[in-house]
Amino acid sequence: MSRNLRIEIPDGIYHVTSRGLERREIYYDDHDRSYWLSLFGSVAQRHEWRILSWVLMDNHYHIFLRTPHADLSVGMHELNAGYVTTFNKRHKRVGPLFQGRYKGILVERGYHYWELSRYIHLNPVRVDMVKDPEAYKWSSCRHFFRYRGRPDWLAWEEVLIEHGKTIQVAQRAYRQFLREGVESPPGSPLKFQTASTILGSPGFIERMKTWLDGKLPDKEVPAARKLAREISVETVVIEVCREYRISRNHVKIRGGKNNESREVAIYLCRKWVRTPVEQLGTFFGGVQGTAIANMVTKIRKRLKHDPDLRAKLVIIENNINNE
């Protein structure tokens, strides 16, 4: 089994999940769930973790959290190993309970907070355990709206605070956001992760790649190799600017018509970079998704009959892939 890449930074924000071996149940009853939650709270308080949201399912769990002290691995070992020891003793069993180690994805601060939290809270709804996520006992959802029983280590306000002038306004907005997700189930925000390790904007991913350079303990970890060769928006822009001999602003800033270099950069980003259209639009000065689609179509058509443009793209793409 390939190893996961672990990125631990002070004040890091993560989506974490652990699954049962062969997708088997990791909680047999509410006693198991209560014990896990008690142990989880102890670990969170000991490490000063701030838990943004969580949910327990039958054969896995999700945690969305912030770690002030770059100690995710240590804390997760305490949680999973401690739980397995007690679980095995109580149920008179031996052997592993979880499918390997946990999976942790580093998340950019403020990036998809609502989407990630909703994704976690809607887990029981997606599998028809409940119709209302607030009715599910084994998640943080109800604590976003009710004080009674809310654990001290749950930092629910960090998720809500930026979406309303008051907590009450933010709570109403989040509840409506949940209802919309129930009525029209959204896709997972985790599908935009890079190298199964990082979730964030192109700039954040590029900064983390720069920060990690030389710090990775083992570059033979598959995710480390994938991250190292992941093509970024910045890489595309640099190579386009080099070939066209222009400044970055000429490519990034809106203005003027028939800016071939800008259209080429956007076309190549759609071809090579795993970044959502709306983020590309923001990076290139607030371009709408339809405008991006039109630019891509325009370049694609020109490539069929413009040998000079084809030659330029061959050079740029070779440089991108040799980075």
Burial class (CB in 10 A: 0-12, 13-18, 19+), 258: exposed
Phi, psi values for residue 88, rounded to 5°: -65, -40
Instruction: Tell whether the model's pLDDT for residue 224 goes beyond 60.
Output: no
Please name which of 116, 249, 134, 257 lies closest in space to residue 187, comparing C-alpha atoms.
116
- As a whole number of angstroms, the distance between CA 104 and CA 73 comes to 9
pLDDT(221) > 60: no
- 3-state DSSP assignment of residue 17: strand
Query: Which H/E stretch holds residue 282?
Result: helix 277-283
Q: Tell me the pLDDT band of 199, cut-offs 50, 70 and 90.
A: confident
Pair 199, 15: CB distance under 8 Å = yes
Q: Look at residue 62 in the predicted model and tell me its pLDDT.
A: 98
The predicted-structure confidence for 85-141, as pLDDT tens digits, reads as follows: 999 999 999 999 999 889 999 998 877 788 999 999 999 999 999 999 999 999 999
* Strand pairing category for 60-67 and 50-56: antiparallel
Nearest C-alpha neighbor of 6 from the set 101, 100, 97: 101
Cα distances from 226 to residues 8, 198, 219, in angstroms, run: 18, 11, 10
Q: Which of 41-45, 214-218, 280-284 has the lowest mean pLDDT?
A: 214-218
Q: Is 274 exposed, middle or buried (0-12, 13-18, 19+ CB in 10 A)?
A: middle
Residue 194 contacts residue 205 (beta carbons within 8 Å)? yes
Per-residue pLDDT reduced to its tens digit, 125-135: 999 999 999 99
End-to-end CA distance of the chain: 29
Task: With cut-offs at 50, 70 and 90, classify the pLDDT of residue 280.
Answer: confident
Give the pLDDT mean for 221-243.
Answer: 72
Structural domains for the chain: 12-203 (3.30.70.1290), 232-321 (1.10.1750.10)
Average pLDDT, the chain: 87
Measured from the Cβ of residue 54, the count of other Cβ atoms closer than 10 Å reads 24
More confident residue, 191 or 128: 128
Residue type (1 letter), 156? W
The sign of the torsion formed by the CA atoms of 123, 126, 128, 131 equals: positive
Reply yes or no on whether the pLDDT at 53 is more than 90.
yes
Helix 260-272 vs helix 307-321: crossing angle, to nearest 10: 50
The angle at the Cα of 129, spanning 182 to 60, to the nearest 5 degrees, equals 100
